Amino acid sequence: MTRLPRSKQILRADIAMRHSDEKWMAEAIKVGRQARVWSAPNPAVGCVIVRDDALLAAGFTHPTGQQHAEIHALSQIDDAVGATAYVTLEPCSHTGHTGPCVDALIGAGIVRVVLSCVDPDPRVAGKGVAKLESAGIDVTTGVLEAQAHDELKGFFLRLSRGWGRVTVKMAISADGRSAMASGESQWITGAAARADVQAWRAESDVILTGSGTVMADDCALTLRQCENRLSEADWQRALAKPTARAVVDSSATITHDAKVVSGDTPTFLFVRSDAQASTDMPSSVSYIPLDAQEKGVDLKAVFKLLGDKGANEILVEAGPTLVGALQQADLIDRWLIYMAPTMLGADARPAHAAVFKKLSDAPRYSVTGHELIGDDLRIIMRAAQDS
């Protein structure tokens, strides 16, 4: 039998290892998505432990003070000696609410660690890799890095600029209108699209709206368990740590009987420092005063304060005025648009109130996803330079 030259044997082995690494890292990314509903301020990391190309365990990040993804995976098996750990983000090397994950991997007898992304947190930032390598563990980085980075983008943005990823959700007609001239908008989209929104709410760390939307709709902005892409286990985790609510309420017009301040869900009301705050709000409601500006409050300051509270993913569900202000200030990272197959007419309300004088001033986006949800078209897009 003719044998391949050694150089080609090595090349084939490298290709086979790369394919195996990508297969198992894709699984780690998938597992990490289960953490989205409750991991903040920590990133939603996934980890799978593999030996002889067989899955031994899978783990994901738990709420603050509980298991990180690596610890969750290791806790499920008695013997990890000689195994490989695939982790979407560099394991921590410092002691915070929990001990260093690198120590757990080393102590478990892991011989190889494959990573997607190096952790930009200055407490880690390569220190985890260095500690693993100093213990004789083989470390490979950058496997499916782009995919994992997108999954963790809110966390990365919060570390680099002070607030997480801002996603604006809108329901619009095919002619780009968000409500009738009277303000009537329930419901432009169908039941399937509204159920899909609940999954996005659950996977966000805070839902932001404006006082105008609260006054018009008396919205609660709470999670409603329903049939969508989230599993029953996902929903149990989401409901154990409900998504916080925030309202830009410059003049402190919201009253204690509004649905948005009902229940035990943490709720933040951003008001001007000279506004007269109500004294009869539930204990779950916090007023956050901001310096007054000509048009209310500084929206960048709102996001910065939400970042300080650990919000990696910020979902905006608001009307044309607030969305237009965010658009005008270039504060939107991603659009989540549900387009219904209906026409509302020329006098209906626009999607947002931003004004651009020239075509060249209008922002351009890249469509990163489009799918029919029931009868409605869901479009996901982000800034073209970020694609």
User: Nearest-CA neighbor of 368 among 334, 338, 323, 326?
Assistant: 334
∠69-235-59 over CA atoms, to 5°?
15
Query: Which residues 6+ apart lie within 8 Å of 318 measured at CB?
Result: 168, 208, 209, 210, 212, 213, 248
Helix (H) or strand (E) holding 14: helix 6-32
CA atoms of 34 and 40, how far apart (whole Å): 12
∠148-82-18 over CA atoms, to 5°?
40
What single letter denotes the amino acid at residue 145? Answer: E
CA atoms of 367 and 356, how far apart (whole Å): 21
CA atoms of 373 and 226, how far apart (whole Å): 14
Beta strands in 90-220 (DSSP E): 112-117, 138-140, 165-173, 177-179, 206-210
User: Nearest-CA neighbor of 337 among 373, 385, 302?
Assistant: 373
70 catalytically annotated: yes
Please, which residues bridge with residue 289 across strands?
Answer: 271
The phi, psi pair for 296, rounded to 5°, reads: 110, -110
Beta strands in the chain (DSSP E): 46-51, 54-60, 84-89, 112-117, 138-140, 165-173, 177-179, 206-210, 244-248, 267-272, 285-290, 292-293, 296-297, 313-316, 334-340, 349-350, 365-373, 376-383
Catalytic residue among 22, 70, 145, 184: 70
The 10 Å Cβ neighbour count of residue 70 is 27
CA diameter of the chain: 88
Give the active site residues. Answer: 70
